[in-house]
A and B are shown apart, each in its own frame.
Chain A
Amino acid sequence: MSKDVKIRKGVNIKLKGVAEKLYADPASTSDVVIKPTDFPGLTPKLSVKVGDKVKAGSPLFFNKEIDRVMFTSPISGEVAEITRGEKRRILEVKVKADGANTFETFKQGDPANMSKEDVLATMLKSGVWPFIRQRPFDIIANPMVTPKAIHVTAFDSAPLAPDFGFVAHGQAKILQVGLDALAKLTSGTVHLNITGNSNADDAFSGAKNVQINKISGPHPAGNVGIQMHHIDPINKGEVVWTLNALEVLTIGKLFKEGKFDASRTITLAGSKITTPKYVKTILGASISGLLKGNLEEGARIISGNPLTGTQVQENGHLGFYNYQVTAIPAGGEPRFLGWLPFFGFNGFSLSRTSFSFLSPNKERDLDANINGEERAFVMAGQYEKYFPMDIFPVHLVKSMIYKDIDLMENLGIYEVAPEDFALCEYACTSKIETQKIVREALDLVRKETS
């Protein structure tokens, strides 16, 4: 029952600084940070205070609305700092490593032989739960709901993204344990969506107990929302859970070893990284540790990819869902007559208003400039070109701007996440902040309909 999907709309933006398939020396980290701001719509409630000793897997805070959803420490150590923002909103919880590497122990075993309640409880308590996100709304999944399906994407098509196959190679068994755990949680199918552009790693193509779908085509083919839309679209009232294959590995390790192993392999990529490589590190690791001696001057550092990631400072930390740290030129210089078409120095464009369209395979070195100013929504067809869903992106975004919830529902807001609009935002002539609009609209609909 596997499906082959070919994505036709979209584009791969080729950037300089693709990570070589080599591991750099593991970066040591003296502290880690968990940022509640990584989770849209979350109201965190602390369960520790500064000075508390924690082990890897000990709760730091939990979801105030659903208190079973725990956010745990990736390492053992001491809670060093709790940063708050406006209205005492918690921004960061910092844990200083004690070097002892002690772990909380959780129920170990083969999830295939465990009850659903046991699987659920272990995942919630250990802190792996937040990896599972739900559509609609692209928020942490609600454990009280049984989803109609779970979609796992086994590749990331974003610019400079890590090759999941390279990272997961040889971990087929652990992946299978994770997939078995997920299978307990849904009444429907677990979909494993692998890439059709190249040979998927054996770890993915050999997975059992799941429906394996092949997705080929350019970015955003790796976005789980796009895959879902073509395999089994979500309708009003239905809930689907999503995550990526590397997160399934973490879940697999939890059941196999009985501990929350938050280590992860990420890529350091982008033109401002001296030697772009893969590196083994941990969730919430400090950026300065990761980039030590490997960062060039004048960079914008992004936790995540250049389309959907979050800007971090050199003293910042790796985000919860990020498997990539990207450094691109910071930009900020005005460009003389930069709007002139057909001048080589006037920048890369996907549109044919610059001669860069003649060399689509050349790797580009793009900076963080907006390259223009925000304007009224004038469409020249880019949104349709880079949005591979049977949804009218421009009209959906417009309905979001004027907050017409009925229309948003009708136009398919339940199927989308901000990341699905990232390419549209990249190409937008009017420089609209599309992802922000989508995020705010999702939050609004969630508030109004719950």
Chain B
Amino acid sequence: MKALEEFMQKMKPKSDGKFPIAHSVWDGTYTFLFVPGHTNKNGVHIRDSVDLKRTMIIVVLALIPCLLFGMFNVGHQHFLAIGDCLAADCACDLFWDKFLFGAMKVLPLVIISYGVGLGIEFVFAAINRHPIQEGFLVSGMLIPLIVPVDIPWAMLAVAVAFAVILGKEVFGGTGMNVLNVALVTRAFLFFAYPTKMSGDKVWIDTSLEKGQVLIDGYSGATPMGNAANGVMDKMPSLMELVVGLIPGSIGETSIIAIGLGAILLLVTGIASWRIMLSTFIGGFLMCLIFNAVAGDNLFMAMPPLSQLAMGGFAFGLVFMATDPVTGTQTNSGKWVYGLLIGILAILIRVANPAYPEGMMLAILIGNVCAPLIDHVVIGSNIKKRLTRVKTA
């Protein structure tokens, strides 16, 4: 390690040299390999070992189960569509074929997301002469997991660039953004290229090789797409929704994989349990309300747990609503924020005829409202302090 450290120090370009980007790249690499040996100068003399890099890496680790499961599921859905395996077969048949097929489809999306996003980060770091900030480590992993597998690569690249520049860098970079960057990417794709982001053609990779045909009666619709159209006979059971071998965005389908990530985030305390719990409660409440007024609307009448296990609700709840930068920052504010997201997600999902999923918009609306919620919470603290003056 000593040799590597010395080698890196020898390679160090000047920060005010001809190519500031060279320094950014060096700095990014060096601080990835080594936590620099800077010592405290003012204030405390000892510091906790946790830093932003470690925090972000834990979120990335929490996303790994979703990524791996997503790869497998992409393959699984493909093989189902071409009839190489049947829904009745054991899902583990052709395990490696499915996984490798999925990996071939998903990894390019991961690479594009990180390549474009980090590239822009490096350029901005060089322009602003900042060190590289770690925020995109998480966004770059989230983005491929919340898009359909069939998304064209160029569109993804454009969307990532849009989100990083207009969603984050114009506000000042990591920690300053108002909206969750990954969701800005998705929202951009959703409104710019709606045909590639919704409907029943995009969720399963149906690229056919010579001699392959789609099975009779094939439909690529997601359970939620079906439910929104009132097609309830193909509805998977709650168990199937939890396991997640269903069509959908790459990382969102399996509640088990998401749950593993949630456990890591909650144990390490990186994500707020308050937001997770309150979002769940909000969604659950809204389901109950719809149940009560459902009449013959089958989508409204869905049992709450199935409703919440479907689509992107769980994924958004665990990984995106809990974003510490764009969420509320006061503890009581977190409850309100979570409830709002939960309620809005189900409300938009069920009551809006235009598109079936509501989690993305709910969280974006939540992000926008977060400063307002905090403002009210802080206002009450200020008021309390003022009344103390009057009564004293």
Contacts and interface: CB of A to CB of B under 8 A. Distances in A.
Contacts of A425: 43-44
Contact of A337 (B33, B43, B133, B269): B33
B331 interface: yes
Given A300-B39, A371-B49, A435 B55 contact: no
Given A13-B46, A349-B48, A353-B58, A332 B39 contact: yes
B162 to A, nearest CB: 21
B37 interface: yes
Contact of A395 (B135, B172, B378): B378
Interface string B36-57: 1111111111111111111101
B51 A431 contact: yes
A371 B54 CA distance: 10
A411 B174 CA distance: 26
B39 A370 contact: yes
Interface residues of A, number: 75
Nearest to B53: A339
Contacts of A378: 52, 55, 135, 174-175, 324-325
Contacts of A384: 331
B215 interface: no
A427 B43 CA distance: 13
A336 B39 contact: no
Contacts of A367: 39, 46
B378 A411 contact: yes
A338 B34 contact: yes
A334 B35 contact: yes
B54 A307 contact: no
- Counting chain A CB atoms within 10 Å of each CB, which of B36, B51, B267, B385 scores highest? B51
Interface string A421-450: 010011111110111100000000000000
A433 B57 contact: no
Interface range on chain B (Cβ under 8 Å from partner): 35 or more
A335 interface: yes
A390 B381 contact: yes
B93 interface: no
B270 interface: yes
Interface in B294-352: 324-325, 329-331
A373 to B, nearest CB: 6
B207 interface: no
B43 A434 contact: yes
Contact of B49 (A159, A334, A348, A435): A348
A233 interface: yes
A375 B175 CA distance: 8
A340 B54 contact: yes
Given A348-B48, A353-B50, A370 B40 contact: yes
Interface in A259-316: 300, 302, 306-309, 311
A59 to B, nearest CB: 30
Nearest to B264: A341
A217 interface: no
A321 B131 CA distance: 37
Given A375-B51, A376-B174, A376-B175, 20 more contacts: A15-B46, A159-B46, A300-B45, A311-B45, A326-B45, A328-B46, A337-B34, A347-B48, A367-B46, A369-B40, A370-B39, A371-B51, A372-B51, A373-B51, A375-B174, A378-B52, A378-B325, A410-B382, A429-B51, A436-B42
Ranked 5 nearest A-B pairs via Cβ: A372-B51, A376-B175, A347-B49, A338-B35, A339-B53
25 contacts: A237-B389, A307-B44, A311-B41, A311-B45, A339-B35, A339-B54, A347-B48, A348-B49, A352-B267, A353-B49, A369-B39, A370-B38, A371-B47, A372-B51, A375-B133, A377-B175, A378-B52, A378-B175, A380-B324, A381-B272, A412-B385, A426-B44, A430-B175, A431-B47, A434-B43
Interface of A: 13, 15, 159, 233, 235-238, 300, 302, 306-309, 311, 326, 328, 330-341, 346-354, 366-373, 375-381, 384, 390-392, 394-395, 410-412, 418, 422, 425-431, 433-436
